[in-house]
Amino acid sequence: MDLNSILPLVYYGNTVEAWLYAVGVFLGIAIASKIFKSVIIRELHVLSKKTKNDLDDFFIQAIDAIRWPFFLILGLYFAIDWVVIEPLAVTVIDVVFIASAVYYGVRSVQRAIDYGTHKVAKRREVKDHVSDNAVVFFLGNLIKIFMWMFGLLAFLAFMGINITPMLAGLGIGGIAIGFALQGVLGDLFASFSIYFDKPFQKGDFIIIGDDMGTVEHIGVKSTRIRTLQGQELVVSNRELTETRINNYKKMEKRRTSFSFGVTYDTPTDKMKKIPGIVKAVIDKSKLAEFDRAHFKNFGDFSLNFEVVYYIDTGDYAKYMDIQQEINLGIKEHFEKEKIEMAFPTQTIHLNK
């Protein structure tokens, strides 16, 4: 019996020739995908490591993430076009193929979202020196959730199911959920406002009403602040966007003024030296810039001087270090010059 006599034979409703074509297509796709995964992808991995750009790594990893069963399903999907089989079997294969395609399609988009969010977070760390990217990753996760919903609707649409009532139901349900969670959503949108507008960032020293401290964490719903007393203050993001905030970290230059008094018995020649002494002390500090020092007025208990200078930093701790350095320097020079600081005193003169 030769091959030409075997090919026309019919088994399970199809000729041997049709079965051979179907098996050939299935094996061809399976073997080609195996070679693609084992050889080509492996070589591309090697080549991608030699490039500075990581975009090629992302695409190769996304393709490599498609598992072996998908290619078998792909081969089976195209192979059944060559034979006639039960409609139920065709339907099952179609459903499995479409479900697999949607699944891996959504997974690929998710990988792209993860790649994008990590790039944005890394750029913020380098450019803005921000390490707290909770909002960035929350947005990425939220988009991934919507992608799964879109994938499910796409799958149902491919299956011929009318999804219009579902979309209408989701719209009505979304409105109801929005009313029920308007407080949470208010904080959520406030966190987006903080992220995009950047009124403050992690590490900034801010003042909110009567509270002040350093921002430790900017979350999706609330922001945590470490106060000067040491406790953690948790403030909702909506409250932060609705109140006035003083951000001292944003200050490029801080104007500082302070006053002190010397005793009334201080000689005039020594009083004339005081502005120069103060200027010399302030000029010694690298971050301080002297502006003025004047004998301001005659007080009840002292001769009062006013000093103004600028600090080239918005860091509150550095500001206090500089102020302490200046105060100690002034006191040291006054002790050398025998200039006495004033304190509240009262002299009573008695007449006989």
Say whether both 93 and 235 belong to one domain.
no
- Give pLDDT, residue 37: 74
> Does residue 241 sit in the same domain as residue 274?
no
pLDDT of residue 244: 84
In a domain, 56, yes or no: yes
Which tens digits make up the pLDDT trace of 38-69? 777 777 777 777 777 766 676 777 777 777 77
* Domain co-membership, 97 together with 222: no
CATH of the domain at 218: 2.30.30.60
Q: Between helices 268-283 and 316-337, what is the axis angle to 10°?
A: 150
Cα separations in angstroms, 23 against 81, 258, 309: 11, 91, 87
Mean residue pLDDT of the chain comes to 78
Task: Indicate whether 134 and 207 sit together in one domain.
Answer: no
Give 262-265 contacts, CB < 8 A, sequence gap 24+: 262/302, 262/303, 262/305, 262/334, 262/339, 262/340, 262/341, 262/342, 263/302, 263/303, 263/340, 263/341, 263/342, 264/302, 264/303, 264/342, 265/340
Q: Of the given ranges (54-68, 142-156, 241-255), which has the lowest mean pLDDT? A: 54-68
Q: How far apart are CA 135 and CA 202, in angstroms?
A: 12
Examine the pLDDT at 132 and tell me if it is beyond 60. Answer: no
- Assess whether 71 and 104 both reside in one domain: yes
**Same domain (yes/no): 156, 7:** yes
Could you tell me if residue 117 is inside a domain? yes
Distance CA 195, CA 223 (A): 12
Judgement on whether residues 142 and 7 belong to the same structural domain of the protein: yes
Bigger pLDDT: 293 vs 97: 293
Does the residue 157 lie in any domain? yes
> Does 118 score more than 60 pLDDT?
yes
Rounded to an integer, the average pLDDT of 139-168 is 75
147/95 same-domain check: yes
Residue 345, pLDDT > 70, answer no
Domain count of the fold of the chain: 3
pLDDT of residue 271: 93
Share of the chain above pLDDT 90, in %: 18
Q: Whole-angstrom Cα distance, residue 41 to residue 39?
A: 6
Contact 100, 159 (CB under 8 A): no
Q: What pLDDT does residue 351 have?
A: 66
Q: Residue 340: phi, psi to the nearest 5?
A: -95, 130
Entry pTM? 0.46
In percent, how much of the chain has pLDDT > 70?
A: 79
Whether pLDDT at 203 is above 90: no
Q: Kindly list the distances between the CA atom of residue 25 and the CA atoms of 7, 76, 77, 120, 336, in Å, as whole numbers in the listed order.
A: 17, 8, 10, 44, 100
- The confidence band for 324, taking pLDDT boundaries of 50, 70 and 90, is very high
Which of the four pLDDT bands, split at 50, 70 and 90, describes residue 180? Answer: very low
Give the domain CATH number at 284.
Answer: 3.30.70.100
CA R_g for the chain? 38
- What domain range includes position 236? 193-247
Out of 57-61, 123-127, 187-191, least confident range: 123-127
- State whether 37 and 103 are in the same domain: yes
Same domain, 239 and 260: no
Question: What pLDDT score was predicted for residue 261?
Answer: 93
pLDDT band (50, 70, 90) for residue 75? confident
Whether residue 160 is predicted with pLDDT greater than 60 in this model: the reply is yes
Confidence at residue 218, expressed as pLDDT on a 0 to 100 scale: 81
Q: What order do you get walking across the sheet with 245-247 strand by strand?
A: 232-236, 222-227, 211-218, 205-208, 245-247
The mean pLDDT of 288-317, rounded to a whole number, is: 89
Tell me how far apart the alpha carbons of residues 311 and 60 are, in angstroms, rounded to a whole number: 52
Q: State mean pLDDT over 250-276.
A: 88
How many CB atoms are closer than 10 A to CB 254? 19
Higher pLDDT pick, 278 / 192: 278
Task: Tell whether 202 and 331 lie within a shared domain.
Answer: no
Mean pLDDT along residues 290-318: 89
Residues 146 and 62 in one domain: yes
Query: For 221-237, how does the pLDDT look when each residue is reduced to its tens digit (9 = 90+)?
Result: 788 888 878 888 888 88
Q: Which of 162, 178, 205 is the last residue of a domain?
A: 162
At 15 the pLDDT is: 73
Question: Out of 40-49, 73-82, 212-221, 311-320, which region has the weakest mean confidence (pLDDT)?
Answer: 40-49
